[in-house]
Amino acid sequence: MRSLLFVPADAEKKLAKAMESGADAVIVDLEDSIAPDRKAEARIAAAEFIAAVSEWSSRPRLLVRVNGLETGLTDADLDAVIPARPDAVMLPKAEGGPAVIHLDAKLAVREAAAGLSEGHVTVVAIATETAQALFLAGSYQGATRRLAGLTWGAEDLSVELGAEANRDADGRFLDPYRLARTLCLAAAAAARVQAIDTVSIDFRDETRLARECEEARRDGFTGKMAIHPAQVPVINAVFTPRPEVIARAQAIVDAFAAAPGAGVVGIDGVMYDRPHLARAAALLARAKQMGEA
């Protein structure tokens, strides 16, 4: 998933537009974008929407961001949406492996009741929204096979830290949030799941968005969340491997295939070792999944 677009569950027109946005995934939101007195109605709307589009032959992946475990609202969210067969649940304010294990158990019960195979619904966790979560980032490894991705957020974390801002005057994240970003990236690598970058909140600033995407891809993230359909084309473009990058990766794989016992190969005067081979193979696998290779 290169692009994951948030849409409020009770915004019917926005949901329809999201399905045509080109996003790889649509996140139907039951959490922050829904007022407390609208939660029940939003659950019904989310379930109806997912049920209506889940059988489309060509569609983005469908995720539901439920309310966090600490709110007491998660069970009602899951009761409403799991029978509609979403592809995944996004867990906000997740606090490490124990949180996704807890969610796993809740999902298993509801999958059984809905006649779904166990593990049908995967999990993407937002891993940095509380201070405690930062200390638990390393505990996702091996927690559950449902875990498909980790992402991070700065807004809730800045509130908990009592910070006045989370970005500087140039729009770059300040140190506490760069730490959170790094911990998310490392946690995803350790758990062998996708690392997804956080949102860029100024959806009109395409230059800043492109910069954030480029920096995220450089560091190891393979996708980014969006809050507006206009952000989707930029995100998709940056996180789609370019033809010359694919060609270089293929050349590295081919060179090692031609010399299976080698620890190092040379291509055009540049030396590549086994870590380069692993990175090239991962890029080719991702490109193939996107239909680019």
Query: pTM value?
Result: 0.91
Sequence ranges of the domains in the chain: 3-239, 243-289
Instruction: Considering the domain delimited by 3-239, tell me its CATH architecture.
Output: Alpha-Beta Barrel (3.20)
Mark the ranges of the chain whose per-residue pLDDT is less than 70: 292-293
Average pLDDT taken over every residue of the chain? 95
Q: What is the pLDDT of residue 25?
A: 98
Cα separation of 132 and 160, whole Å? 10
